[in-house]
Amino acid sequence: MAVLLVAEHDNVSLNAATPKAMSAALAIDPDVHILVAGNGCASVGDEAAAITGAAKVLLAEAPHLEHHLAEEMAALAVPLAAQYGAILAPATTTGKNYMPRLAALLDVAQISEITAVKSADTFERPIYAGNAMQTVQSSDAIKIITVRTTAFQAAETGGNAPIEKINVPAPAGLSQFGGDELTSSDRPELASAKVVVSGGRALGSKENFAKFIEPLAGRLNAAVGASRAAVDAGYVSNDYQVGQTGKVVAPELYIAIGISGAIQHLAGMKDSKVIVAINKDEEAPIFQIANYGLVGDLFKILPELQSELEKADG
């Protein structure tokens, strides 16, 4: 049976999580439709249509879909569901908000944050902050799934799927968008960056975080991340948090600076290809999973690292 993938986007462009979730969708069934719901988001529909493997794009546009409120997204998807064997969305904060609502309206379970598709009804997912992996088989007629996108390669582009405009139900009217405060940065996006430089409590202040972490990230064209302790202390905003309850990242290179390596932090970065830890405590748990460790005071090491990188760049 066909599969529906709900696209993640900001009405202007498609989020990098969508082509990755596409690979999970294609592993379930080759007949994948993509739902692009939003307001004035036709350009996103075009981008989705270009994802290789998309059989069709459903474009749902209405003012009340602009902010992807859970009440409206779930109400939109319910009447579509009967045609599909599975509905997937990337496990972003948007997908995690509306997908369980949709599942309950359809009276089925949700399978959260899958990391592998074993068959059309069997999936792998992490539990206990990734300290165990569970293989689960669903008996529901329709599978509602969120996808941990770090576990999947992005689908290619080059396709040209037909785009079909679909009817949008009247607003549910239960909730209303009241504004947002989005972080703007010229850095690559944390969730999909090739290199991530993260700072922890040890940075000590917002000023130090900016002074010591930012230049290194700039040099490496890296996204900036942080531990919960650094976010709680106000060094950076909440969207920088990596971990069990923040973002899950799996870059080529993850540099953890002044981060102890609590299991909740490891949950968000331990699938990175190469991990570097800089910490003054040689017993810090982060060293147990780091490919390269450097023991010492970050305030001394980071300027040295910066100048070594400059030398290496020649």
Ligand X SMILES: Cc1cc2nc3c(=O)[nH]c(=O)nc-3n(C[C@H](O)[C@H](O)[C@H](O)COP(=O)(O)OP(=O)(O)OC[C@H]3O[C@@H](n4cnc5c(N)ncnc54)[C@H](O)[C@@H]3O)c2cc1C
Q: By CB under 6 A, is residue 241 in contact with ligand X?
A: yes
The span from the CA of 49 to the CA of 40, in Å, is: 16
User: Nearer Cβ to other proteins, position 49 or 278?
Assistant: 278
Give the shortest CB-162-to-other proteins separation in angstroms: 30
The span from the CA of 277 to the CA of 295, in Å, is: 8
The span from the CA of 251 to the CA of 68, in Å, is: 28
User: Nearer Cβ to ligand X, position 38 or 130?
Assistant: 130
At 155, which amino acid appears? A
Place of tokens 């462009």: 13
Q: By CB under 6 A, is residue 259 in contact with ligand X?
A: yes
Partner interacting with residue 287 (select from ligand X, other proteins, none; CB below 5-8 Å by kind): other proteins
User: Nearer Cβ to ligand X, position 164 or 297?
Assistant: 297
Q: Are 233 and 259 in contact (CB under 8 A)?
A: no
What count of Cα atoms within 13 Å lies in the side-chain half-sphere of residue 287? 11
Partner interacting with residue 25 (select from ligand X, other proteins, none; CB below 5-8 Å by kind): none
- Apex CA 72: angle with CA 67 and CA 74, to 5°? 120
> Which of 171, 148, 160 is closest to 69 using CA atoms?
171
For residue 19, the surrounding DSSP H or E stretch is helix 17-28
Partner interacting with residue 238 (select from ligand X, other proteins, none; CB below 5-8 Å by kind): other proteins
Partner interacting with residue 98 (select from ligand X, other proteins, none; CB below 5-8 Å by kind): other proteins
Partner interacting with residue 175 (select from ligand X, other proteins, none; CB below 5-8 Å by kind): other proteins
Q: By CB under 6 A, is residue 264 in contact with ligand X?
A: yes
At 146, which amino acid appears? T
Give the shortest CB-297-to-other proteins separation in angstroms: 12
**Interface with ligand X in residues 3-62 (CB under 6 A):** none
The span from the CA of 56 to the CA of 49, in Å, is: 7
**Stretch of residues binding ligand X (CB under 6 A), selected from 34-42, 79-87, 131-139, 244-252:** 244-252
Question: Using CB under 6 A as the criterion, which residues of the chain lie in contact with ligand X when the complex forms?
Answer: 200-202, 227-230, 241-246, 258-260, 262, 264-265, 268, 279-281, 284, 297-299
